[in-house]
Structure 1
Amino acid sequence: MSEQMENTSLSMTTFPTEVYDEELIIICQRTNSSNFAAVVVPFFFYFVFTLSLLGNSLILFLLLKFENIKTVTNFFILNLVVSDLLFTLPLPFWGYYHGHEWIFGNSSCKILASMFYFGFYSTILFLTMMTVDRYIAVVHAIYANRTRKMLYVYVVSGTVWIISFFSALPKFVLFGTRNNVIFGMLCEETGYLADKIDSWKLVGYYQQVVMFFILPLLIILYCYTLIVIKLHYAKMHNKDKAIKLIFLIILAFFICWTPYNIIIFIRARQISKGSSEDDCDESIDYAFLVCRNIAYFHCCINPFFYTFVGTKFRRHLARVVGRWIMWGSRYRQSSFSSKTSEHSPQTVYE
């Protein structure tokens, strides 16, 4: 499994003792990192939720209002926005849970956990597929004209959703609620032997590192490297700007995801060795919290790289803002005229 709904902000799983089928397991109590998580994680989750909901909703509005959805690029952007929203919508629930306890019931625990990871995984895969699509369109332009049809994007998008669904399905099976005497109601991987839980966590960790980081990173580096080479020799007036944007996309992906996956890999190695998750060293906990927040933040800002950096979406946004300003100006002018007529003295001609 991946990180047990991020280990319920660590405060939810770092209890002193817990019993699984009459087997007593001693777990280190990490008070400092638990207190840190209970304060920082809810604030950050609420912030990411607000930013992502506003940004992605605006992109969705502009896309549906001004663009033709039945194009390859726009359909990919639509799928990416939907993925980000699926990832974003459960965040307020997890934010509250990290600071308190789970109060939303067992079914909601399963649904929100699987929905969260469903959006999480599909976001990364759609970013990767959009990179591949741009590589085909730029490097193999002639071939792209014959193959980049709507059937192509439907098949690719459907494949991404199916892979993401089955990757997140174990969350729905394993997640559930249980009561803890110290922390109250928990929402985490439960209901199985400790060894079985660790085995599924190990599978999730390596799935995250290999399938949702290393492979996407290699594909992104390969595709954008060849795109940059193609643009370098092309005769186009905006190629420097395009190359800088590509560099920014790669840099953002690498900076946001590399530290997080390094921590995930360390946790996987600890489980493989049969040691406790961090041998009571809270530095791993602090690093995990910080790196996870950075990675989650990238899921909310990545649509901007594919939309507002483009001329079309900036033009659409300017039109919407312009209409709002004109509407506000007309409203104020109408209100002012109405008040003026009310207070103006009457004449014999009225």
Structure 2
Amino acid sequence: MSFDDDDTQYLDFLDLLNETENTTDPNYLLSKTVRLCQKTAVNQFGAQIIPTFYCVNFFLSYLGNGLVLFIIYKYEKLNTVTNVFLLNLVLSNLLFASSLPFWAVYHLSEWIFGEALCKIVSSAYFIGFYSSILFLTLMTFDRYLAVVHAVAAAKSRKRVYAIVASVVVWCVSIVASIKELVLRTVSRNHLSGLVCEESGFEESIMKHWRKVSYYQQFLVFFLLPLFMVMYCYISITVRIMSTRMKEKCRAIKLIFVIIFTFFVCWTPYNVVILLRAIQMSMEGEESCDASDRLDKVLYVTRNIAYLYCCISPVFYTFVGKKFQSHFKRLLAKKIPCLTRHMSLNSQSTRTTSQRTPHSTYEY
């Protein structure tokens, strides 16, 4: 090839370059460097703590909720509003806990269970999580009716009311989780391997749906239940203070413990959720360090919330004298040598359910 040919090709290249520069749309020009945050450190942090937390939550949930379920089956009947709500709370927690082993394996390596289970496990995870919060709130509201409006609620607090309310809670939870069934797919990531995540639309649309999920979680499944729980228990406390109920101080202490535990376990996680939503809503470049710190805090606070979600039926049932008596009877039957160390009183068990509505807090 001659030097003239080289000069000709070089001139043609300059002409093409000038033509490209002249026809470039200024809207596509970037005035700053776009940095992509590598989540390697965050993923390693998650792989270290999440599987352990999920396994602990799984075993505690099935142990505690299974025990409550067995006691309901053995000693109770589903002819009361409280037992219907309690049964549904246990089922929602078992549904939620059943997804945790899948996520534990996922955080250790990659998603190896296929696309169908990706959708099913994700849906079960959120349906169980959302319904658990709503059933806890519903049980609190039912206690409020039983104590504060005992006479008026005596006619309405029937088994049909409990069944209808439970169906509504399940429907709301399913509707809130439907996007998981639609958007969750399995794809291959060059860094993480097979991933089970929301995809299928443009990034702007997916970002919008993630923000909707965060605000939905904070407003519908935290702020509203928190206000209802606080209002109901404050009203119950005022009502108990105005009665001659025995062990009044112990009942008020229990109410304080319930509110405090609910607030401490749920507030940090939902504050982080709100911060993530605000962070996604803000225009401009976010700091990778700040994003990583928020992700790590999310891992820790989320597992605290999940732990409360798993053990809540035990917390809500075994503080009551009736369930304590059932548990003692069960232990005495399975381990006879413990009988002499327990004060079983079957008469107190029968009379507990026949007391006034204020006996709900006679622990």
> Which whole-Å CA distance do the structure 1 matches of 2:204 and 2:210 have between them?
10
- 2:243 aligned partner, one-letter code: A
1:299 alignment partner in structure 2: 309
Report the alpha carbon displacement of residue 192 of structure 1 after superposing the two structures with TM: 1.4
State the shift of 1:278 in Å: 5.5
Larger Rg: 2
Q: Give the drift of 1:26.
A: 5.2
Aligned to 1:315: 325
Matched, 1:45 2:59: no
Q: Deviations over 1:41-92 (max 9, x none)?
A: 0011001000001110010000011001121111110010001011100100
Contact 1:83 1:120 in 2 (8 A): yes
Residue deviations 1:204-260, cap 9 Å, x none?
A: 000000000000000111110010000011111122221111111111110011111
Counterpart of 1:345?
none
Output aligned runs, 1:209-224, within 5 Å.
209-224=218-233
1:63 is aligned to 2:72: yes
- Say if 1:102 and 1:277 are closer, same or farther in 2 by CA, change over 3 A: farther
Shift of 1:276: 5.7
* Counterpart selection for 2:163 from 154, 164, 176: 154
Query: Which amino acid is 1:76 matched to?
Result: F
- Which position in structure 2 is the counterpart of 1:22? none
Higher deviation after alignment, 275-284 or 55-64: 275-284
Are 1:76 and 2:85 matched, yes or no? yes
CA contact (8 A) 2:331 2:338 kept: no
1: distance between equivalents of 2:288 and 2:54?
Answer: 28
Number of residue pairs matched by the alignment:
305
In structure 2, stretches of 5+ residues that fail to align are 1-33, 340-363
Q: Does 1:134 align with 2:143?
A: yes
Amino acid at match of 2:213: G
Name the counterpart of 1:338. none
Residues 128 and 216 of structure 1 are in contact (CA less than 8 Å); yes or no, is this contact kept in structure 2? yes
Q: Kindly, what percent of the aligned residue pairs are identical?
A: 47
Residue in 2 that maps onto 1:287: 297
RMSD of equivalent CA atoms: 1.7
TM-score using structure 1 length: 0.84
| Residues 58 and 276 of structure 1: CA distance in aligned 2, closer, same or farther (over 3 Å) | farther
| Distance change >3 Å, CA 31–CA 182, structure 1 → 2 | closer
Tell me by how many angstroms 1:302 deviates. 1.1
Q: Is the deviation greater in 95-104 or in 300-309?
A: 300-309
CA distance in 1, matches of 2:177, 2:248: 39
Letter in 2 for 1:54: L
The answer (yes or no) to whether the contact 1:267–1:277 under 8 Å persists in 2 is no
Q: Which letter does structure 2 place at the counterpart of 1:87?
A: F
